[in-house]
Amino acid sequence: MKITIGSDHAGVEYKTEITSFLKSINHNCLDVGTHTKESVDYPDFAHLVAQNVLSDSDFGVLICGSGNGVSMAANKHKGIRAAICWSTEIAKLARNHNNANIISIPARFITLKESIEIINVFIKEGFDGGRHTQRVNKI
């Protein structure tokens, strides 16, 4: 699976570890940055991830302090459904019911271990379709 990952300065440490984890389970990861803890503008990286998901990647992973900013920026792109996930259950529902194609991780509110577990559920789950299709099409 091809996954594009990006973060702001608050998520850079998680991004590095999550990328290593995803590669260890044979996913192709494109890291679009940032690569330092120096303050950056999160929309720049959210837009890069969203553009790659729309053109070339199966999924995207975004990480910032709260998960909110990157999710808001990514959701400006038609066809992107970025979901902030803080538990495995939320990640499962984001995929099953909302056909989310980007997961947004709130690095300041969950552990790295939790983040990896949540992302692992997100990429393994699928869209249930059915009654959810009409709802997703209205987004």
CA–CA gap between residue 56 and residue 136 (Å, rounded):
21
Count how many Cα atoms sit within 13 Å of the Cα of residue 72 in the half-sphere of its side chain.
7
Given 29, 64, 77, 85, which residue is catalytic? 64
Given 27, 77, 97, 132, which residue is catalytic? 97
Q: Which residue has the tokens 């709130």?
A: 106
Is 132 designated active site? no
Is 47 designated active site? no
Catalytic residues: 64, 97
